[in-house]
Amino acid sequence: MTFPAHISLTELAATIRAKQLSPTEVLRAYLARIERFNGELNAIVTLDAERAMDAARAVEERLARGEDVGPLAGVPFAAKDLEDVGGMRTTYGSPLFAEHVPAEDSINVARLRAAGAIILGKSNTPEFGAYMQSSNAVFGATRNPWNLDRTPGGSSGGSAAALVGGLVPLVTASDGGGSIRHPAAFTGCVGLKPTFRRVPQRPNPILTFDDTAVWGPLTLTVRDAARLADVTFGPHEEDPMALPAHGESYEDVVEQAPPRLRIAWCADFGHFVQPDIAREVEAAARAVQALGHAVEVFNEPLPFVGKAWSLTSVVNEYLKHGDALATPELLDPMLRQGFERVRRQAADDLAYAYGRRTELVRWTARAFDRFDILMMPTMPLEAFPIGVIHPTEIAGRPVRIHESFPFTHPFNLSGHPALSLPAGRTDAGLPAAIQFVGPRFRDDLLLRLGRQFEQARPWPLAPQRYL
């Protein structure tokens, strides 16, 4: 059988289970693609081919014996380099951890392995996941498969570039302010930020009060995201904030068309959007209406919570890595400034941040009283150039940092699930994306709507060069 690098995750798993391809054949094929393309993408930053091949042989033997190895049997994956893999270097994108090798897997990685998936390496990320691009002092910058001069976004940019570049069929990703959805939008794939703590987290290195950052699916298709939800969602004793199980299989319901939904649509929610992105997502909104949903323009601006989000995030990061100030010369300057501010005025900053967060939650409560789904661009701009820490303009118009991702971080603070899907291309040929935001705990509804939209608006899984 000819190896299709961009086969969907569910199809690949079925092909392996049917013994049309063996786990070792699949792994060799992806290792060959890493050899061919990773030099230009710089997406995979740690590779353990020998251990991966041992695991592939073990899965192959179990399949030959007729054992049920799991729903991801023989599928290779790369873990984002913010996530621990026992016995494999995990740097968090920081020189402080350049040689760090954790002793155990994160809960997310452990669940993927228990489902039969095979870890082959780590994907690039900015230091501690703090930026909109995936570059750091340890490994350098990851590049976007659609344009090598552009970033794939952050902080799961290495995962997105590896997925769309066909280096691996499965990746892990996390989202504290848009870090699943930014790369999904910039590289043209599917990104689900679940309801907070659908995927449990092992305290790393300590249990913080962080209730904004989540792990979730970054995939080529919505059905793939549903399978990952089934594998990775659910409670765990080490995470007191983890949600109980949903109660039914996401993959079982993803093909069921949702009921007629009341959908609030706005092209900007009070923020400036690159005109060709606005054009593409408006066309996507018309397509959603054509699917039979009640789409209504909703012009009430989103409250500005960028500063509140930043202050909350940096306090949580300080709780985990504040001892890095003992060697400030090894810490990214912007992170260092944030940590120093936490030491001076954390109490005042959190009082401000939670006041603004309360206003946001009241806004979302009013919105979901009227609507089932909120619909907007995922990002107000296309993928920006490599070497830029964060955009300073959109289509020639100056913007502050939080104005460059105004549609993602509010829903980390509010806790609502959000799904990013490809919606078209910009004038430069880069992906544009639409975001659906759903009621808390209705990840299933988002996946059903996303699958319906995906079938109505098919999208190329990768640029032609990587197919």
pLDDT tens per residue across all 467 residues of the chain: 567 889 999 999 999 999 999 999 999 999 999 999 999 999 999 999 999 999 999 999 999 999 999 999 999 999 999 999 999 999 999 999 999 999 999 999 999 999 999 999 999 999 999 999 999 999 999 999 999 999 999 999 999 999 999 999 999 999 999 999 999 999 999 999 999 999 999 987 888 888 899 999 999 999 999 999 999 999 999 999 999 998 899 999 999 999 999 999 999 998 999 999 999 999 999 999 999 999 999 988 899 899 999 999 999 889 988 998 889 888 889 889 999 999 999 999 999 999 999 999 999 999 999 999 999 999 999 999 998 988 999 999 999 998 999 999 999 999 999 999 999 999 999 999 999 999 999 999 999 999 999 999 999 989 999 98
**Which of these is catalytic: 106, 179, 404, 420?**
179
Residue 3 counted as domain residue: no
CB atoms inside a 10 Å sphere around CB 347 = 8
Residue 1 counted as domain residue: no
Task: Identify the burial level of 247 via C-beta atoms within 10 angstroms of its C-beta, where 0-12 means exposed, 13-18 middle and 19 or more buried.
Answer: exposed
Q: Is 420 tagged catalytic?
A: no
**Which of these is catalytic: 80, 123, 134, 135?**
80
**Which of these is catalytic: 8, 106, 134, 155?**
155
Residue 4 counted as domain residue: no
pTM above 0.95, yes or no: yes
Q: Is 19 tagged catalytic?
A: no
- How would you label 77-110 residue by residue, b for 16+ Cβ within 10 Å and e otherwise? bbbbbbbbbeebbbbbbbbbbeeeebeebbbbbb
Residue 365 counted as domain residue: yes
Phi and psi at residue 279, to the nearest 5°: -60, -45
Residue 278 counted as domain residue: yes
Per-residue model confidence (pLDDT) at position 120: 98
Residue 2 counted as domain residue: no
Q: Which helix (H) or strand (E) holds 120?
A: strand 118-123
CATH number at residue 53: 3.90.1300.10
Q: Could you give the number of structural domains in the chain? A: 1
Per-residue model confidence (pLDDT) at position 78: 98
Residue 455 counted as domain residue: yes
Per-residue model confidence (pLDDT) at position 365: 97
Per-residue model confidence (pLDDT) at position 2: 61
Residue 134 counted as domain residue: yes
Q: Which domain holds residue 279?
A: 9-466
Q: Is 179 tagged catalytic?
A: yes
CB atoms inside a 10 Å sphere around CB 393 = 13
Per-residue model confidence (pLDDT) at position 325: 87
